[in-house]
Amino acid sequence: MPASQARIVLSTAGAEPQARSIARQLVDERLAACVNIVGPIRSIYRWRDAVENEPEFLLLIKTRASLLGRVERRVIELHSYEVPEVLTLAPSGGSAAYLGWLLESTASKPMRTNASPTRKRGKTGKTAKGGKTG
């Protein structure tokens, strides 16, 4: 998968349980290969002519360009905000292995490639990305 087919969608949620729920749905439905939840973060924004200052959780949704419309619709359906953030970024590059895994993980039917074993947890107690398990 060339990087030109990958996308990162940004969204925010007002509470961690909602962020986790949205992330899980998107991955379960193969609309996203991975969703990172970062936070809490602080968002300062204008809403209905007032400046708001609220804690939120940032979702970094990794998907493919061809799924953007479906991802946007699903985030809006699952979200409690009247106007949820759905902002798309196009990466200029990425490792071939990661991009292949992203493609496999967002395929409508699971594909068999060499990318899948690299994402599984090993016996060392670390994930393939180097993070601790459990």
Whole-number pLDDT of residue 112: 56
Which three-class secondary structure state does DSSP give residue 128?
coil
H/E segment holding residue 39: strand 34-47
Whole-number pLDDT of residue 115: 46
d(C-alpha 66, C-alpha 70), whole Å: 9
Per residue of the chain (134 residues), give pLDDT as tens.
788 999 999 999 999 999 999 999 999 999 999 999 999 999 999 999 999 999 999 999 999 999 999 999 999 999 999 999 999 999 999 999 999 999 999 998 765 555 444 444 333 344 555 444 33
Whole-number pLDDT of residue 118: 47
Angle at CA of residue 107, ends 101 and 110, nearest 5°: 80
d(C-alpha 134, C-alpha 129), whole Å: 14
Compute the chain's Rg from CA coordinates. Answer: 16
Domains in the chain: ranges and CATH: 3-93 (3.30.70.120)
